[in-house]
Amino acid sequence: MVKSGEAVRCWSCSSDLNPYCNDPFVPSLADTSGLFSLEYCDGNTGASYPYLTTSKSACKKQKKYIGGNLVISRGCTWKRQDDYSTACAASSSGANEVTLYCETCDRDGCNGASAVGMAMALMMAPLGLLLFK
């Protein structure tokens, strides 16, 4: 059985090359800066074993120190079809790299805002409605 679907679109940038990729991330700057955009991620392009035959595309946001500098990167990654976690696949870090945070998601543009920020906004919306009713 073959499962087909549309590729997810992810923000693609790195804060060491583009300061607008830092947190807080403001997607509206994509229209004016031209430095980053939503990229279509194909679940099989660039995938390697064990993801080659059973992969799905996902978005990734990662924070790590590289040579003492904090770098935030956003882009595409690949996960197994049966992997529903938000954890990133294990990646090797060199002597000059320390990963602080890495998370995946599978909705268009989901690697733009932090998960905490999105959750907080969803929780605060009903409170705001009650206060301004």
Q: Helix (H, G, I), strand (E, B), or coil: what is residue 81?
A: coil
Count of residues in the chain: 133
Lowest mean pLDDT across 31-35, 36-40, 56-60: 31-35
What's the structural domain count of the chain?
Answer: 1
Report if residue 1 sits inside a domain: no
pLDDT tens digit sequence for 50-102: 555 678 889 999 999 999 999 999 999 988 888 899 999 766 667 789 999 99
Give the CATH number, domain containing residue 45: 2.10.60.10
Q: Return d(Cα 114, Cα 50) in angstroms, integer.
A: 28
pTM of the entire predicted model: 0.72
Instruction: Decide if pLDDT at 30 tops 70.
Output: no
Report if residue 3 sits inside a domain: no
Report if residue 55 sits inside a domain: yes
CA distances from 48 to 36, 42, 129 (A): 25, 13, 48
